[in-house]
A and B are shown apart, each in its own frame.
Chain A
Amino acid sequence: MVVRIKIIWFFICISIPSLGIEQVLAEDFVRLREEMVQEIGHDLRETVAQTHVSDLSEQVKKALLAVPRHEFVPERLKDKAYENRPLPIGYGQTISQPFIVALMTELLKLKPNDKVLEIGTGSGYQAAVLAEIVDQVYTIEIIPELGEHAAERFERLGYANIKTRIGDGYYGWEEAAPFDAIIVTAAASHIPPPLVQQLKPGGRMIIPVGSQFMTQFLVLVEKDQRGEIVAEQIVPVKFVPLTRATEK
């Protein structure tokens, strides 16, 4: 009997601190998320001259605060989930830097009843952020394992408004087209013309350009009401290419 009590006591002793740790970790993640959002807001204010995004809008801020980014990164990198940096997620892919996710989402100027298409699901983080803002998100991934993991994640986290597909994103998602906004997270040698066709008049398409760990610039394609296309190339870095005379 004494032995049994000791065993029970032992398990109580070891489980109380572990429960405590879980609680602390969850709180930590909330705090880290808030800090991340603050940092993104600061970065956006710093680069307003380049991006024309002066600050985080309420809807994007709420979305970033709501999405548990740590659920979208590999277990070993959970402690780095809220650092403002891209992280490897396996299969040669990355989860984008939060600043870039926020900037792209802002640039799409989304409305709650919008329908958004994402080409390149990756971890699913960007789709989750979009799903916090709009009614319908369609996302396509070409790497089966990534697509499957993302779909499971969406289900587990309750993102019922995200529809996933594994396959070729070049021709978009014809049954659900047209879209108010499109994000192409995997830039190819050219922007697929079929995607432009699936964009509603007045719609916006955003494409980050660069290598996996370095977004060099963003291409924002806008289709006006007449169907004409204009692309804007946005370099998020605050940079003056010439040395000022005083610096010389």
Chain B
Amino acid sequence: MTFGQRKPGLKFLIAIGLVSGASLGYEILLMRIFSIIQWHHFAYLMISLALLGFGVSGTIITLLGDRLSRHFYRAFQLNLVLFSISSLGCFLIAQQVQFNPLEILWDKGQWINLAGIFLLLMLPFFFAANGICLAFMQYKRHINSVYAANLFGSGMGALAVILLLHWLFPLTLLGLISGLGFLAVALLQKPSILTLKGMIGLILAVLVPIFVIQSDLQLKPLEYKQLSQTMKQMGARVIAERSGPLALITVVESPKIPFRYAPGLSLMSPALPPDQLGLFFDGEGMTAITRYDGKQDSIAYLHEMPSALPYVLLDQPDVLILGAGGGASILQALWHGARQIDAVELNDDLVALMTADFADYSGRIYTHEKVSVHVEEARGFIETTQNQFDLIQMELMDSFNVSSAGLSALSETWLYTVESFQTLLQRLKPEGILAIGRWIRLPPRDGPRMLATVIEAMHRSGIDDPARRLVWIRSWNLGVLLIRNGAFSAADIASIKAFCIQRAFDLAWYPGISEKEVNRYNHLADPVFYQAAVALLGEERDRYIETNKFNITPVTDDKPWFFRFFRWRILPDVMNNIQTGGYSLLDLGYLVLVATLVLASVFSFLLILLPLVFKYRKWMQRCHESPLRVALYFSCLGFAFMFIEIAFMQRFSLYLSHPVLSAATMLTSFLVFAGIGSQWVGRGHHPYAKKRIMISVFVIVAIATLYLLVLPVIFRTSMTFPDTLRVLISILLIAPLAVFMGMPFPAGIARLENESGEKACRMVPWAWGVNGCASVIGAVLATLLATHFGISAVILIAMAFYLVALVLIPTQAGFTGGGENDRGRTV
């Protein structure tokens, strides 16, 4: 029997759907799990892994295809079983690999550990892809139905994981996913599932998740994460845990070593924090739930923190708190006699904890008569609310450890952008104040960048005297920037000075400040914060930003990476000062991305391309087409596809509020609609193939250009719609783009097949491999480029790749039908 002769049955199609869904669900689940055990930026690593797994599979199936065709069912089932085993097994082994990203600069062995994790976690994707690729080849003539099962299963897998994360812990979900391979094998047994093999498969499918739930298996967060460290303290214990698609929330009680979370508390403070519970998000970002018994004295410490400054200037303000968290800012507002408090919190699990489990402990502040809690994304809330406030407080959004190590370098922060500040300024009442707290990093970067971004927003909003509307103070570890809707008065300045003197906080800027007044209590070798303010508020602004060795350019919605301070020009300083703190100049999150790019490039070359090169001569002997031209065409498509996918994933994360939701929606949409496009072009007649490639490229360029212009407007007008509606709108927006993006690859493949004939010239594997390499590298490179040049630039580069591909279309006309090798739809 050879490939392509038979028609697949319903049970087989269900099996394909199951393994497709399981592999995509596994990818999304790994993103979530790695946010818990490591950090958020590993999401990009997971995308690369999945792509690499599929790419390597393509190469292997291409090389072994004929041999495998003789044992199709056995090979197919074996790969499904191996997926089941490896999806759980490889993860558990990978958890044992002692990879510590914090040590990556000191210990070269960490690179080997990272590579080990990379290879281990690639295996489940590889096995799943083997099954899918084998099915495509086996049922070549009925590929439409196999393909539909693949797409439907993948889409359902992504959505199911996102939904199930609301109710199930990630490890339980991992067990369920691992069982799906066995279930698929059980379904395939003849005459029915009730055979011995079928029953074994079924039992294993049920036993694996039960084993995971019942056993002691646990996620092992890195021991350097805050939660891991806290749990090593005497008497510390977890008293509540909530898992959702946004975060794993852990509440910890530590009676023997009490939590005393009070960022920037004055050294002179006569008051100390009362009892607190530690609140962790994905094992990091510690804040606290403070015990509140209704007595003002018990929380007097809140008046001794830099964040209390605006209350010195405002009487009974209406307050908006962005990022209510454990409620410290709400308490602070209540302590200072706020009239009305609107608190925005994205995480509904946290709101549930604060209004139920810990309502009494926290003094029922979330349901206090003065407090209205909004479960929304902060940027979405400020874009749509019509209310104005006397005070808008932006909470610290990351922990000090994460900030100081630069681990947030790849986190998009839509609240810290010029556009966001423009909106925030509109939400201030006359004389209202926007207060922003940021951890201090030295040499300074967060503070100057925040100031530069705010000043840019003020200029764009038509404010020509920002210097009169800004006040900037700092403690040793926390800076607070106040932006007033109006000028600060002499009385305000006097109050600010008194506040700072009493608490030993330093003034970095106020209207009329002199250099003698700065750098007094928290003395730095140079008054760098004051100098930054003077430069950024004066004529030297552009030059100061340009010549700064850190990236402190104003952050925009197009480049929302506030925490990516790294500029390559800093590298000599790092290398010259390795032993004396040079590494603290780097952003670790960015470095991990670079490491991922290196690994992705090396492994995709070694595992996808190199095996094909060995057969290169044999395959190319009778080819008329230039291999270089083919390589360029298909690598252009690989880069272009991934650049657009990643760029839109990032752009939609503002709209969909979170990278995980955005990734799931985008992956599913691109997958399904690119597949539909691929099928659509596949049914066409060959004379039209080149024309269709050209049309599709022009349509892609047109739609992408249109989106660059209109997406901000669409997002703004529909930002407050419910999640499901925004997901639907996102899918509808991606659909036309993805449909056309699915066309150039299979059309090009078909032209190659037709040009040479399968036996005469095997250019197809070459095209497949090159495209695979480009896709793997492109996924990481897109993010790297976006952090430097902006999301729009990545979309523009993608368009350029498509246009270049247009002139490289394989020259021989011809078309033989559906593109089963379309990588865009298998990932």
Binding site for B on A (CB under 8 A): 39, 43, 46-47, 49-50, 84-86, 88, 90-93, 97, 99, 142-145, 166-168, 170, 187-194, 196, 209-217, 219, 221, 229-243, 247-248
Contact = CB atoms under 8 A, between A and B. Distances in A.
Contacts of B264: 189-190
Nearest to B407: A211
Nearest to A244: B547
Contact of B258 (A47, A168, A196, A230): A168
Interface string B421-465: 000000000000000000001111000000000000000000000
24 contacts: A43-B580, A91-B229, A92-B225, A143-B232, A190-B263, A190-B265, A190-B477, A191-B265, A193-B265, A213-B105, A213-B106, A213-B224, A215-B581, A219-B476, A221-B267, A231-B504, A231-B522, A233-B442, A237-B577, A237-B580, A237-B584, A238-B577, A241-B443, A243-B569
A186 to B, nearest CB: 9
B242 interface: no
Nearest to B543: A242
A91 B223 contact: yes
Contacts of A239: 443, 549, 573, 577, 585
Contacts of B548: 241-243
B544 interface: yes
Interface string B397-431: 00011001100000000000000000000000000
Residue among B106, B260, B443 with most chain A CB within 10 A = B106
A190 B550 CA distance: 26
A104 to B, nearest CB: 13
Contact of B579 (A39, A230, A232, A248): A39
Interface stretch (B154-162, B185-193, B523-531, B630-638): B523-531
Given A142-B257, A236-B581, 20 more contacts: A84-B579, A91-B223, A92-B224, A142-B233, A143-B234, A168-B258, A189-B261, A189-B262, A189-B265, A190-B264, A191-B476, A211-B404, A216-B404, A216-B442, A216-B581, A229-B521, A233-B524, A239-B577, A242-B547, A242-B549
Given A86-B106, A190-B477, A217-B442, A237 B265 contact: no
B302 to A, nearest CB: 12
B232 A91 contact: yes
Interface in B554-592: 569, 573, 576-577, 579-585
B592 to A, nearest CB: 14
Contact of A212 (B102, B105, B443): B102
Interface residues on B, range: 35 or more
B587 to A, nearest CB: 11
B628 interface: no
**A-B complex: 6 closest residue pairs judged by Cβ atoms:** A237-B581, A190-B265, A92-B223, A211-B405, A236-B581, A217-B442
Given A47-B580, A92-B229, A237-B580, A213 B260 contact: no
B102 A216 contact: no
Contacts of B522: 219, 231-233
A86 B550 CA distance: 25
A54 B774 CA distance: 52
B813 interface: no
A230 B521 contact: yes
B272 interface: yes
Given A193-B267, A241-B549, A143 B233 contact: yes
B713 interface: no
Nearest to B396: A189
Interface string B503-547: 010000000000000001111110010000000000000001001
A2 B260 CA distance: 73
B404 A209 contact: yes
